[in-house]
Structure 1
Amino acid sequence: MFSAFCRYHYDISNSRLHQYIEEGNEAGLLISCVASATNLWALVMDAGTGFSSQVYEDWIMEQWDNRFYITSIAGTTNGSSLVVMSKGTPYTQQAYKVSEYFPYNWINRKWKEGFHVTSMGTAGNRWVVVMSRNAGYSDQVVELDFVYPSEGIHRRWESGYRITSCAGTPNQVAFILSIPKRRPMDEAQETLRTSAFPSDRMVKEKWAKKLCINSVCYGRTKC
């Protein structure tokens, strides 16, 4: 998915977060991904999400009843969290797991029940993984490591997988790679690793190549 109208913001404090979200909504943009580091937020808003509306609340069960589903999630080290729930997704059911360690066994059980990972986030050393039914994937794998798993990701790319979620703690980084049931034409993917949020020049160079931001996370990338 490539949108000609996309904004990104970073180093946003809790007090200014809703201001940026409201300004984006007024411009016809909805959140496509969110991440947090050092108690500040990074936010990507896009006109091409395909969602019809969003809420940004922490009463998840009630919103599930209203057919809103979790599409982005992130947390800060001081305990703040942002859960983005959207209407207009293909999902039919969701489950989530909060854990002090990466919940691979839980993910494996949910795969067998027909769920796929659709969002991940961290807060300090804690993980949250969101899995959905009818996510549009035929297969999914996890790359979990203490550093950026370059070899594993390139091997998965060669087999047709693409990164659909990522998250990191100060100690580990996890990537979810998926094979869609309907594979788009001329699909390409790249990762961009920097010690700070990518510069405007870096992002615009990728946009010029018809690449759009799919996921953002902060975490450990090297020893």
Structure 2
Amino acid sequence: MRLIFSTLFCLFTLCLSAQNQWSAVMTQGTAAQSYDYFYSLESASTYISDQLKKGYVPTEIVYGDGKWYVVTTYTAVETTVSWKWGPDFPSDWIKGEWDNKKYITKVTYGNGAWFVIMATDKNVKTQSWGTRDTWDGMKKYIDDTWKENSRYNITDLAYGNGIWAVILTVMETYEHQKFKASESFPSSWIQEQYDDKYNITSIEHDGKQWIVVMTKQATSKGETAFLPETSFPTSKIKEQWDKGRRINSFIYYKKEENNEEQFKKYLKDGSDHLNGKYYNLAIADFKKALELYPSNASALNNLAWAQYQAGYCNDAMESIDKALALEKTRYNNHTKASILMCKNRCDEAVRYYDEAIRLYKQELGAIKESLYFVDRAKAKKCKGDYSGAKDDLQEAIKLEPNNVSFKNELIEVYELMNKKSL
């Protein structure tokens, strides 16, 4: 096992990190509901597919503390659902799904990806969306849209990567709406709207202010908006479920404060979990570190290694490519090679192991870690270069003369060489 940690030196007087905050909105309802969390969007996607087979549709998804939280809610109405994620807002895909009579039900951003869910809904007449890089710009876009067609309702609002996104929908029945921006959680304003039969439709935070959208209801629904707290509100959710309320929204945001030590703690926690083979926990730790310093090559390399060890080879490849774009070291070249082996791309893996060994020698002289030779031997054996694999294993045995597994590997390579010569 090898990890690299880099010490950060601030270029400014203050180093900005973040205090994580969670909130949730739960609304009166009777439908069966379930939620779970996942360390990758692939796993979250599999969960959504499995829940759809049981009649549960995805009604909320949010990223926070290194995990994707997914809420699914039972519906007796036949519904077709599709979803897509990626680094860019999927405008072309949305247009194609509109042509298929699907409409956006949820949009969110987290861990470098936009995630959009679309579903069939006979109550929708038409739909539009827009993005702006400031809330003031978004507010103007919403006001201008309402002037053109006052029947548009805000059905979702999201913030991520410095971009605001809004979904505007014309439904069969128009419902009046209000929205408010506030630096502090606007609990008094929310309560005033509750008293006037409004419920929360969307709530978001951009790290500086809250934006709350509320919609007039014909009949007031009981609803609770949790005050922000630093941990996910598991016990409060259970308490409200027992009172007949269902999850409407999760909100996760980061409030800036001065605290560089948190980054170092996440790296140490990730290292400890990785060494203990708690790979999913390590992944979450390294992702938290990267939320604070997204361009830290060492944290990206460590994340890639944890993802590789957990078997998430596609995620690992994405992470290590980001690390290599920032910095090329013996560590991240070795990680890249190992991930290539996971994808059975043996020729490419050998080239990256070669580069890792070259950089090792350049930096430290003679190689003292057998891992580099053993891993390259496996890649050479995979591509049929048994002679090269033999040489690497012999080098590894020089470093660890009593390692039985290395000797067994060497015997196996000799057998393969003999078969090849026949």
Tell me the TM-score normalised to structure 2 length: 0.48
Instruction: Find the counterpart in structure 2 of residue 101 from structure 1.
Output: 134
Larger strand fraction of residues? 1
SS of aligned partner of 2:252: coil
Counterpart selection for 2:50 from 23, 28, 37: 23
Deviations 1:166-185 (A, max 9, x none): 122222221100113xx23x
Change (3 A) 1:188 1:220: farther
Match of 2:179 in 1: 142
How far apart are 1:139 and its partner, in Å? 1.0
Partner of 1:54: 81
* Aligned equivalents of 1:3, 1:146: Cα separation in 2: 33
The aligned residue for residue 62 of structure 2 is: 35
One-letter identity of the residue aligned with 1:139: H
1:28-53 Cα distance to aligned partner (Å, 9 max, x none): 21011222235632211000385612
Aligned to 1:158: 195
Instruction: Give 1:15 shift.
Output: 3.3
* Separation of aligned partners in 1, 2:103 and 2:81: 9
Correspondence for 1:125: 162
The alignment covers a number of residue pairs equal to: 218
CA distance in 2 between partners of 1:220 and 1:140 (Å): 27
One-letter amino acid of the structure 1 residue matched with residue 52 of structure 2:
N
Q: Over residues 10-38 of structure 1, what are the superposed CA-to-partner deviations in whole Å (9 max), with x where a residue is unaligned?
A: 35422322121122112221011222235
Could you say what the CA RMSD is over the residues aligned between the two structures, in angstroms?
2.3
Letter in 2 for 1:107: I
When residues 47 and 94 of structure 1 are mapped into structure 2, their CA distance, relative to the original with a 3 A threshold, is: same
Q: Select the structure of larger CA radius of gyration.
A: 2
From the superposition, tell whether residues 145 and 125 of structure 1 become closer, same or farther in structure 2 (CA, over 3 Å): farther
Give 1:84's match in structure 2, choosing from 114, 117, 139: 117
Give 4+ residue runs of structure 1 displaced > 6 Å after superposition.
none
- In structure 1, runs of 5+ residues without a counterpart are none
> CA–CA distance in 1 between the matches of 2:65 and 2:124?
32
Aligned equivalents of 2:109, 2:76: Cα separation in 1: 22
Q: Secondary structure at the match of 2:223?
A: coil
SS in 1 for 2:176: strand
Distance 1:4 1:69, change over 3 A: closer
Greater helix fraction, Structure 1 or Structure 2? 2
Provide the secondary structure at the position in 2 that maps to 1:190: strand
1:55-95 CA-partner distances (Å, limit 9, x unpaired): 003400011111100001101142x1110001024111111
1:149, distance to aligned residue in structure 2 (A): 1.1
Is the Cα contact below 8 Å between 1:142 and 1:176 reproduced in 2?
A: yes
Q: Percent identity?
A: 21
- The aligned residue for residue 72 of structure 2 is 45
Q: Letter of the 2:29 partner, please give it.
A: F
For 1:12 and 1:177, the matched residues in 2 are separated by: 31
The CA deviation at 1:161 is: 1.4
Is 2:237 the counterpart of 1:203?
yes
Q: Which structure 2 segments of 5+ residues have no match? A: 1-27, 85-89, 258-422
Alpha-carbon distance in 1 for matches of 2:192, 2:198: 9
